[in-house]
Chains A and B, each alone.
Chain A
Amino acid sequence: MRRTAKGIAVLASATLALSVAACGGEDKAANEQPTVDPASLTAELTWWDTSDPKNEGPAFQELIAKFNQTYPNVKINYQSVPFGEAQNKFKTAAQAKSGAPDILRAEVAWVPEFASLGYLYALDGSELLADEADFLETPLASNKYDGKTYGVPQVTDSLALMYNKELLSQAGISEAPKTWAELKTASQAIKEKTDAEGVYVNPAGYFLLPFMYGEGGDLVDTANKKIVINSEQNAAGLAIAKDLIDSGAAVKPSANDSYGTMMTLFKEKKVAMIINGPWEVNNVQQAPDFGGLENLGVAPVPAGSAKAGGPVGGHNYVIWSGMPQEKVDAAVAFVKFMSSAESQAFLSEKLGLLPTRTSAYQLDAVKNNATVAAFQPVVEAGVGRPWIPEAGQFFGPLDQMATEVLIQNKDPKAALDTVADKYKAEVVPAYEK
């Protein structure tokens, strides 16, 4: 009895396999890819997505469904992982060589770090980098470590000046301020002529970078292995930010939850200008009192005495080195699909995300998107960050410094000297101070 049953089962599965193969054959005919038959790729891949699960997650899942139309036998296990914990979670799992995802959406600063630890596949020589020149240079740079490329840019972003058009015109300001001095004047006008405040400066390291870049400063000089955080330029940049607050042009910020406070005030039209990135566009648009996208102005961050520029952020696709070699083809196919110009255009259209491919910006879906159009000059002015494995540790001391200077009235230069000491002791001991 048992034996016969088993025999039938074997037979059944054999026929099943046959019919599956037959189906695969038909698909192949329908698809025009000469080298690899998409249906012949069979694998199960886990992808940790760190995007906003509510606003962005569904669009990525739609993309996966599209991917599966071409690659029916590559199963993607989509798992949303909160951005804040993904970095440690991935490293813990990769270190234990168990439980890490095959593919991860990694923040730009994570890639050099993971790569230096040997947790990522080097992608050189694969199809993923075949058209490397198509990627925007600055976002792609974050994937390079020690002469190899470990990821493919998914999305890029940078800080911009976001403003409330209605409030600005009420104050008689016709175009967005282009320098910090103009920003100060505009703020004071807004404060005088409307019920709202002028600008909110978020006292956090990342959000102060435009002030420092504006004067020509930076965190470290990676080429010469030098810590330059305590430069005169940075001190001058901080002084500008501090003057905005002291003069009353900017709102007196809170030390805690200042980001949330900034966004609430902006959405309630209680503050006219903020410095923030494209990831907030969706939320601002949805705020009931704000007045939608029509009322949201986006301009490059104001310039200092040297230039105008915000830090480049964004996310990359990376592949875990612990993934078995036999899954490589499927993983490459998946990442290639997700980072293709068409997919990026799809995400632009749905979410207003900024593509990382030059060719994507030529597509209608991107060209006609107002948010993307507004942010494009912002991204072009973006300043690349030091892409070194230690980059993740730069912001802890910087955040402390921001509170000290902007809230506790500590002298900018003295506060920056402390940061430099910390960088030397704890972050990049090999660098010169």
Chain B
Amino acid sequence: MKSILRIYIPFFPIIITTGGLIILQAMLQLELPKFMAQIINEGIVKQNQSVIYETGILMLLLSFLVATIAITVSFLASNISAKGAARLRASIFSKVSSFDSGEMELFTTASLITRATNDVLQVQNASLMILRMGFFAPAMGIGALIMAIRTSHDLTWTIVITLVSLLFFVFLSVALSMPKFRMLQKLMDRINLIISERLKGMLVIRAFLREKREEERFEEANKALMNTNLFVNRLMSLMMPVMSLIMSYGSVLIVYAGSKLIDVNKLAVGDMMAFIQYATHVVMSFLFLTMFFIMLPRAMVSAQRINEVLKMDLMITDLPEPEQNHLPLDTKGEVRFEKASFRYPDAEENVLSNISFKASPNTFTAIVGGTGSGKSTLVNLLPRFHDLTGGKILIDGVDIKTLSRNYLRDLISFVPQKNLLMKGTVLSNVTYTATSIDSHKLEEAITISQSKEFVDQKAEGVESPINQGGTNVSGGQRQRLSIARALYKDAPIYIFDDSFSALDFQTEAALREAFIKAKKGKTVFVVAQRISTVKNANQIIVLDEGKISGIGTHKELLKTCSVYRELVSSQLEGEGGEADGRS
């Protein structure tokens, strides 16, 4: 919890002020029944009109004061909760921005999104609740109890009885309903799962005539959901009447016991009525507190989840004084892997072991291998998305660990495996992070990436809007724009991490040709599935279970490397991983 609390520290003075005001508000509010008692005791019973007026005016003034304080409290509380949430959100965002691939994989993207959105909302709501109720309910409850005892300590036992019976009932219902509530969530998940499976498997279900069976499967889950829901809802529908019954019976008890006291002149009529009000306040604050403690654990879970992100130690850090000045701006881009190996923390085996090779400027280095052979990991080591656990990677002879990551990444044009576009326009995506727009470079990037045809077809050209995630362009177009983005950046080193999978062969060939023609002198890494992509590379690195099983050209490897031969024969140079636009 420490990291979260630290975010709220600057608010402590206002929080204390707010808390103080809330307690004051509660105290003043508790004075109101006293005035009422006075109106009845002194004014009505003793038939004194002026007491009624005077007390009435005092009462109005007091309630005006209460309202003013309450509004001030609302102002302060909304300030704290909104500002606190904004700070919380900002610190998660900054923290995640400082993450590299290791941390992202550890948490998973989906979970980080939930933490930064829903969990923050939970904490924000809770903070508001803590501020408003956390101060108010205890102050009110304790205050009302004191006032009640002061009004008539002979009647205090009635409050105790009411509270104890309420407490018993609330605990009973919570104990009964909690497991069912948890079950409800699971049943809801099951409904979700079945429906999404059915949507994904629509063709298969219909082709195999399994409609009836799927309906039955759903109905079964649906029935279980209904039955649990019925139980929970019915229990809940019992709760309110029973609680109000207990409270009403409490007031009857007070009247009965009170009248006996009045009979022996130990209590005034107005005081009895005030006492009923105080008792109601005590019970209500108690109920609020119970709710508070039922809701709080949920917020605590959210807070915990946020905290995990905030306190995460970064796996990769820059040296205190990175060596970026020692590397000349005109980096040649010669890359050397020297006995590089990588292992995930807590993993038993290396993902990559003992990788050594050299990639010179003006050459293509292709990396091939089966699934899980470590191809993608290998190229992800170069921009330090992961840090090596053994060996070295050198650029122009300088160990990349001595460079700052920002500087290092400026040297690399990277096309990731997933084609991730951002909300904006074609232009804003291609020129991502560029400080100024060079129309010549833009044209070149769009042409080489083979995006020109479809960009020109759009009415607004490069100003055409792109949805979040690029959902309004096809998979192939997304990939081409993602390539264009890297081309526009134009660093000495290029990495294509399986970046041609959504392109057909002709497009890919044209792209490769245009690239070679326009981008001379670059050091290029290409991770690929298809042999046709890598056939013409200057060197092909064949990975098998994280180790190099062969380096050479296509022809050499066909002769020397059995893993490569197997790969070639299994593919028969067919087209791989097609994404049919319609299915």
A and B bind: no
Residues of chain A whose beta carbon lies under 8 Å from any beta carbon of chain B: none
